[in-house]
Amino acid sequence: MSERLAPGDTAPDFTLSTDTGESVTLSDLRGEKVIVYFYPAAMTPGCTKQACDFSESLDSLKGDGYTVLGISPDKPEKLAKFRDKEHLTLTLLSDPDKQVMTQWGAFGEKKLYGKTVQGVIRSTVVVDEDGKVENAWYNVKATGHVAKLRKDLGLQGDLTA
């Protein structure tokens, strides 16, 4: 089982490809607060709902100083289709070998329909300006997660209004 990150930990650095083929390196974002969220698969109902919620809240999260990165094991081509189909505005990153997910505690044993399986653990980690973990949530619910995250971070209002 992979270790989960906890507040105060240094966030493991990574460089991953976006749906447009560019690369994003976490350490390049020092000085910004970064919300990194891990989801199992593009174009599935729960992941679509979560990605749309993040997209709808993106302007407000940016206004509060946050960059949002969504990471899944999907290939960049599938992420590009996901972005186009759902009109997503956030940065989607591809982690096909699940190496970053494992380092961040977002891949490992989980319960699925009563069985223990290996898979992506829906997780959200907030990284501060110095690259340290500010908050980490594991096994989050896809629906309503962004509203809860905003509340937990002390951000005003819900932007879906």
Tell me which residues are annotated as active site: 47
Cβ-proximal residues to 119 (8 Å cutoff; 6+ apart), any chain: 40, 107, 108, 110, 112
